Amino acid sequence: MKINVSTFGEVAGNAVNAFTLTNNNAMTVTLLNYGGIIKEIHFPNAKGELISCVQTFDTLQGYIDDPSYRGAIVGRFANRIGHGTFTLNDKQYRLDKNGGDHNLHGGLAGFHKKVWEAKTQESSDSASVTFSLASYDGEGGFPGNITVEACYTLNQDNELSLVITATTDKETPLSFTQHAYFTLSNEEKVGNTLLQIDAKKVTDADSTLLPTGDLLDVGNTPFDFTTLTAIKQRAEQTGSHPLFDNVGGFDHNYVLQTVSENTPQAVVKALDTGVTMELFTSLPGLQFYTGSLTEDDQLGALCLEPQHFPDAPNKPSFPNCFVKPHEKYKETIRYKFSAE
């Protein structure tokens, strides 16, 4: 397999390159060392038509100006940390409040706007790009000097995997995610796209989408995607829920069940193109995001963001998100594409 490297632009004197990985099945993935972004995924359907599977910008300036984390690796901490603060080892840390009253997706120094170092590796059955980044103690208010590596690999089985590892010299909360906006369908809206999420609960949240600490059963609510279901079927069902009405769509953390590594945590299928994507992850939560589905100006895409639970640094009952100096953060996200 081969990797084509081309110049995509420059940020503050740093070169931004596009890395295009291609397998023998005509699947291509283009990555940027700006934000660790997935710029493009093209996958052939059963008719041989190349389907553009993520939203993209044609220029680097589009990504620089983009406020929506499109395609990027998000960190140091994905999602919200309540009121921009948490306490660790009897010390209170104050973070950027860039999401209303909360810290969102790592704050103003988020990794989605940084230029990462990159190295490539090719073999007969896979192609990989490893992005690396250092973040200093106190950046964005977070403790610890950390180093992060994010390795994307495309193989001949039409799988794109992302392995993120990190180390720190001080105990610190870490949670990285991939924020691609998926478009398996050619339709302008995502209502007819089918979705399954292997979760029986979501984290309940207040009007600012900050978790209350409680878990909500998805049964008989718009959040029930325990079987493959059209998104609009849940969005338009009678008997809505205040948590859904707060968004008018989906922006909620699903509590993933523990399954074998060969069982997907989520499945997305577009009936018009015949393309299916299975998502596998080692992380405990999955943010399903469509934004509002009640407005005419819709995203036309969906996000599935594997993550630690939002506000986990302030919620001891949530899965542990803290990493100590003698430990290594390592989590995986894998997307497997197929067509019929």
Q: Which residues contact 282 (CB under 8 A, 6 or more apart)?
A: 330, 331, 332
Give the residue numbers of the binding site for beta-D-galactose.
79-80, 179-181, 251
Options 40, 278, 305, 331, the catalytic residue: 305
- Cα dihedral sign for 109, 180, 253, 166? negative
Options 102, 179, 252, 308, the catalytic residue: 179
From residue 34, alpha-carbon distances to 44, 106, 133, 187, 212 in Å are 27, 16, 11, 29, 34
Cα 267 to Cα 276: distance, rounded to the nearest angstrom: 7
Q: Which residues contact 192 (CB under 8 A, 6 or more apart)?
A: 185, 230, 231, 232, 270, 271, 272
Give the residue numbers of the binding site.
79-80, 179-181, 251
Helix, strand, coil % over all residues of the chain, rounded to 5: 10, 50, 45
| Distance, first Cα to last Cα, the chain | 24
Q: Which residues contact 67 (CB under 8 A, 6 or more apart)?
A: none
49 labelled catalytic: no
117 labelled catalytic: no
What three-state secondary structure class fits 311?
coil
Q: Which residues are catalytic?
A: 179, 305
